[in-house]
Structure 1
Amino acid sequence: MSDRLIRAIAADARVRVVGVNITQSINEAYRRHRLSAVATAALGRAMSASLLLASNMKQPQARVNIRVAGDGGLGLVYADAGFDGTVRGFVSNPHFELPALTDGQQDVGKAIGAAGLLKVLRDVGYGEPYSSTVELISGNIADDVAWFLASSEQTYSKLILTEVLDHEAIAKAEQQSAIADAPVKFAAGLLLQIMPKAALRAAKTSNFSQADLLAQLEAKSDIANFNDLLTQGKEIEEVMTDLFSDLGIEILPMSKDVRFHCRCTAERMLAAMKMFGEEDLRAMIADDKGAEATCHFCSEVYRATTEQLNDLLKELQVEAAAQKA
């Protein structure tokens, strides 16, 4: 299955449906961060949710950040996604582990914790980003993001966020102190939303009343059906078509490739090191003979030479002299 984001409408354009597959992207995140099984599941859900929220934005450079901070062992779970289909993220305690549930799924709710906050930051591509924060209601991310949407947009929203891990591959890799090649068999998400003013159009455009439509969407939010279709190897577009065929689903020509991608660069790393100031830079040169920085989002390691640090010192000195002039 390829990583794709698919948008659609159903029920005479009264329902917005967005589906995303992030299997390859979360496997990449697992390899970069050496995540535990439950951390992999939690980050995958956050990455899917951020992509689903970003899909409704307009500008190519628009982005959505999701920060989930509960009282469980994972600490902060952070995902950042763009309208362009790029996504990245990290978990502050990536090696924290819990036993799987009896059905084999990861206990993400317990690992995150039900007491905490969900913060969503939207950068629309111009002006100042804006953010909203709500209290967690379950810690499983899907319910929490749906609650955020209901609170911030006063719109019915339902999220399905799921993953199936290859536990044998993970266990074998752990025994060898290695990482599995592809521990996630599949990871995907689905966002269902009733469009604004849908209730006013209901009698004119559909045989379903508003109550009937809500009941239909609740029934179609069954995660077991979603998992069954994905287990069959179906692409996310096929899954959406199967689930909503009786509601007249129309796949929109706005699909996007999804990929794990971090915007960090060596240049940005050096610019960040400049913020340490002259005293710290001199200590790095004298004591460490250089510096090393690791990106939180992708675990890429950047190294700065003494020559590069000396160049930063010169830049700071020039800037300081200019300010005094």
Structure 2
Amino acid sequence: MSDYIVRATAADDSIRAFAMTGRETVEFARKAHETSPVVTAALGRLLCAGAMMGSMMKGEKDVLTLMVRGTGPIKGMTVTAKSNGFVKGYPQEPVVLLPARESDGKLDVGAAVGGGYLTVIKDLGLKEPYSGQVPLRTGEIAEDLTYYFAESEQVASSVGLGVLMEKNNTVKQAGGFIIQLMPDVTDEVIDALEKKISTISSVTTMLDNGYTPEKILEEILGDFDLHIYEERIETGFKCDCSRRKVEKVLHGIDKHELQNMIDDDIPVGVECHFCNTKYLFSKDELRRILVE
């Protein structure tokens, strides 16, 4: 298992925590969408967050969707995650070229995303899915999710996310953590945890130094009676699109439109937003769909 998520508790169960490594997940997305480095970093952070947040859900059919709509050149990103840990996602603009941040020379994800909104939708199989929306605070994704948890779910949290690129623009490291305080946490624990988090290295630095998800949680919560669950949750980029599902979409198209496609006498291509897989339908296939 290469990419995986671990779960943990600490401080007599008054803290719950998640951490993951997701290099292959983000590299798959980079290849599928042919993203530029800053888009890879932005989408990669959202994918890692989605995978961890998806693993928080209980039901096998529960689905989480994260949507970022920003004023920056990326314009927006969408990530969908399931409770089994697998994710998929896409950017609206895959290629964005921006200068590095002057302060530290790192990719300027905040400028690429810009201002706007973060929307979280949880489909738990109820009549109506839960939906929460907050304004983007920085566009850096981690800070925006920290704000979302506090405002929409009333859960004090610390979110760390990172994507480190190689010089050839492939993904070198990716991952993150989510630390959340439960209602019975004491002020003493809160103060000590805030002090500890203020001293830790960035997610990419820890990953590049060989830290596993377990080691990341030990670095943050090792002084808080940390208990890491033995089960690792496998994660990765996994799209559930199929030719059959696309055909169902074509069945919903107006008959006159389908007939126009047939009259054009060229194969019709339908592309999946999430993984860029293209499905071609011949004139004979379109005619069969029209009859059906």
Residue 220 (str. 1) matches residue 216 (str. 2): no
> Any residues of structure 2 matched to 1:237-248 within 5 Å, and which?
237-248=214-225
Deviations 1:177-232 (A, max 9, x none): xxxxxx1111111101001232xxx4xxxxxxx15524423532556254332112
Q: Which residue of 2 aligns with 1:53?
A: 53
Contact 1:60–1:125 (CA under 8 A) maintained in structure 2: no
> Any residues of structure 2 matched to 1:11-26 within 5 Å, and which?
11-26=11-26
Aligned residues, how many? 291
CA distance in 2, matches of 1:300, 1:22: 22
Deviations 1:127-149 (A, max 9, x none): 43221111111111111111111
Of structures 1 and 2, the larger Rg is shown by: 1
Contact 1:294–1:301 (CA under 8 A) maintained in structure 2: yes
Contact 1:75–1:112 (CA under 8 A) maintained in structure 2: yes
Q: Percent identity?
A: 32
Residue 184 (str. 1) matches residue 161 (str. 2): no
Q: CA deviation at 1:234?
A: 2.6
CA distance in 2, matches of 1:237, 1:162: 16
3-state DSSP of counterpart to 2:28 = helix
> Any residues of structure 2 matched to 1:78-117 within 5 Å, and which?
78-102=78-102, 103-113=104-114, 115-117=115-117
Consecutive unaligned residues of structure 1, counting only runs of 5 or more, are 171-182, 203-209, 316-325
CA distance in 1, matches of 2:181, 2:216: 19
Counterpart among 275, 280, 287 of residue 252 in structure 2: 275
Q: Which residue of 2 aligns with 1:130?
A: 130
Q: CA deviation at 1:27?
A: 0.1
CA distance change for structure 1 residues 192 and 308 in 2, over 3 Å: closer, same or farther?
same
Larger % of helix: which? Answer: 1
3-state DSSP of counterpart to 1:46 = helix
CA distance change for structure 1 residues 26 and 288 in 2, over 3 Å: closer, same or farther?
farther
Q: Which residue of 2 aligns with 1:71?
A: 71
The TM-score normalised by the length of structure 1 is 0.85
Contact 2:175–2:203 (CA under 8 A) maintained in structure 1: no
3-state DSSP of counterpart to 1:309 = helix
The TM-score normalised by the length of structure 2 is 0.94
CA distance in 2, matches of 1:286, 1:79: 37
CA distance in 2, matches of 1:98, 1:111: 7
RMSD after superposition: 1.7
After the TM superposition, which of the residue ranges 64-73 and 217-226 deviates more from structure 2?
217-226
After the TM superposition, which of the residue ranges 58-67 and 101-110 deviates more from structure 2?
101-110
After the TM superposition, which of the residue ranges 267-276 and 87-96 deviates more from structure 2?
267-276
CA distance change for structure 1 residues 225 and 146 in 2, over 3 Å: closer, same or farther?
closer
CA distance change for structure 1 residues 300 and 221 in 2, over 3 Å: closer, same or farther?
farther
CA distance in 2, matches of 1:282, 1:245: 65
CA distance in 2, matches of 1:245, 1:284: 62
Q: CA deviation at 1:81?
A: 0.9
CA distance in 1, matches of 2:233, 2:161: 19
Consecutive unaligned residues of structure 2, counting only runs of 5 or more, are none
Contact 1:160–1:221 (CA under 8 A) maintained in structure 2: no
CA distance change for structure 1 residues 49 and 223 in 2, over 3 Å: closer, same or farther?
farther
CA distance in 2, matches of 1:225, 1:110: 19
CA distance in 1, matches of 2:207, 2:232: 18
3-state DSSP of counterpart to 1:169 = coil
CA distance in 2, matches of 1:230, 1:191: 15
Counterpart among 258, 273, 281 of residue 296 in structure 1: 273
